[in-house]
Amino acid sequence: MATDVKQDKSLPYPPKSHHTSDPFLQPFLNPSFDPVTYLNTSLPPLSLKSPMPSNHNAVPLSDLASQAQTLLSQLDAHTTRLSDTLTQITDDILRSGGRMSYEVEMLRGEALSLEELLFEKLAEQIGMFVPGGLQKEGEAKAEEVEEKKVKPVEEGGEGSEAKTVAKPQDQVAGGEEPESIKQLRTLTLVRERLDSVIKVFGDAMEFSFPPSEVSVSSGFLSVSAPEPGSDLQSSEEKGQQTLQKLRDEVSGLLNNKQDPVSGIEKAAERIEQLKKLATVWTGTAEEKGRTRFIESLAKMVEDRHRELLRELDARKSEAAATATASQQGRGGGSAAVAREAAGEAQAAGFGLMSQLQRLRGGL
């Protein structure tokens, strides 16, 4: 089969089926096939009895008859083979017709089941994601027709006639979307919201919490440690690793030496994400423990914020003391230089101070 395909690509008229891939059948694949031209091309010309023949390829009548008989035998063989193939394909189609009808009926039943599931059983759940719920195509068109009939004519006379004539033109110009496109847009919206819900619950599954923190936050004392190899111990270890990973992440953001303000902002954004994620456990036994852990992370950010403010105040005090000492050492003539140095120090810390003030308001 692979060899036939390669040969088909090199032929002037590629066959549409391997049944006609024989090179002998190439002339018959030509859309402009002419039987007379085919016979004139396949058979040599007849030699007439004349002293000077006009064509050197001409053959006598006996040779021409022999070649014509050979050509007819080949055509008859191919005709018989293709007729048998056509008969076999027709029988296969007739035999598979019943199976195709059965499969079509199965698809029809599944489509009706899906319609019943969407418009009846899950109508209330779909209405939570799609305002107004799903509507069938026939029902939607019927509602539109009723609205057009019930809608009264506000203005009479020539103005109303002009509006009546202009309305279909506006609809054609606007290009009203088909109902299938509206349904596809609705399904796309449902899929996006489902993906967002799946992502939230996926993040929630990764935010595991140790059972010991849950018991402490609930006010119970743990009498004995979990047995080695138990499911409780594996949950405890996984939860402690998750909490330590989050602490390390926030601590790494706060220890940004190049841009400390940006590090504090990113750490605050990460804590806000954890607060939103913690709403998944609202009303459960883990709510207090998770809230306490997130508050401890927020306290780290606040401590780092206060520390940065103290560093800024110390830097400004040092710059002011340096300027005062320089002024006292050099006398009154250098007062302008001292004021200039103090102004530069204040300008250098002004941008950082404004960012810290804005960050303090957010915290």
Nearest residue to 249 (alpha-carbon basis) of 263, 235, 232: 263
Percent of the chain with pLDDT over 70: 69
Residues 351, 312: contact at Cβ < 8 Å?
A: no
User: Is residue 170 scored above 70 in pLDDT?
Assistant: no
- For residue 84, what pLDDT is reported? 93
Q: How far apart are CA 117 and CA 125, in angstroms?
A: 11
- How many residues belong to the chain? 363
* Average pLDDT score over residue span 186-211: 86
In this structure, of 63-67, 159-163, 176-180, 314-318, the range with the lowest mean pLDDT score is 159-163
Residues 206, 199: contact at Cβ < 8 Å?
A: no
* Average pLDDT score over residue span 259-272: 88
User: Is residue 156 scored above 60 in pLDDT?
Assistant: no
Put simply, whether the predicted model's pTM sits higher than 0.95 gets the answer no
Phi-psi bin for 331: left (phi > 0), alpha (psi -120 to 50), beta?
Answer: left
Nearest residue to 280 (alpha-carbon basis) of 271, 290, 270: 290
CB atoms within 10 A of CB 285: 13
In this structure, of 136-145, 190-199, 269-278, the range with the lowest mean pLDDT score is 136-145
Res. 340 pLDDT band, cuts 50 70 90: low
Residue 227 CA to chain centroid, in angstroms? Answer: 45
Cβ partners under 8 Å of residue 61, min gap 6: 46, 47
Res. 140 pLDDT band, cuts 50 70 90: low
Q: How far apart are CA 301 and CA 261, in angstroms?
A: 11
Residue in this structure with the two tokens 């935010």, named with its chain if needed? 207
- For residue 209, what pLDDT is reported? 83
User: Is residue 338 scored above 60 in pLDDT?
Assistant: no
Give the three-state DSSP class for 59: strand
- For residue 334, what pLDDT is reported? 52
- What confidence tens digit (pLDDT) does each residue in 53-108 have? 566 678 888 888 999 999 999 999 999 999 999 999 888 888 888 888 888 888 98
- Crossing angle for the helix pair 211-218 and 231-254, nearest 10 degrees? 90
* Average pLDDT score over residue span 22-26: 84
- For residue 354, what pLDDT is reported? 57
Cβ partners under 8 Å of residue 43, min gap 6: 64, 67, 68, 71
- For residue 13, what pLDDT is reported? 77
What are the structure tokens assigned to 90, written together?
């027709």
Mean pLDDT over each residue of the chain, to the nearest integer:
75
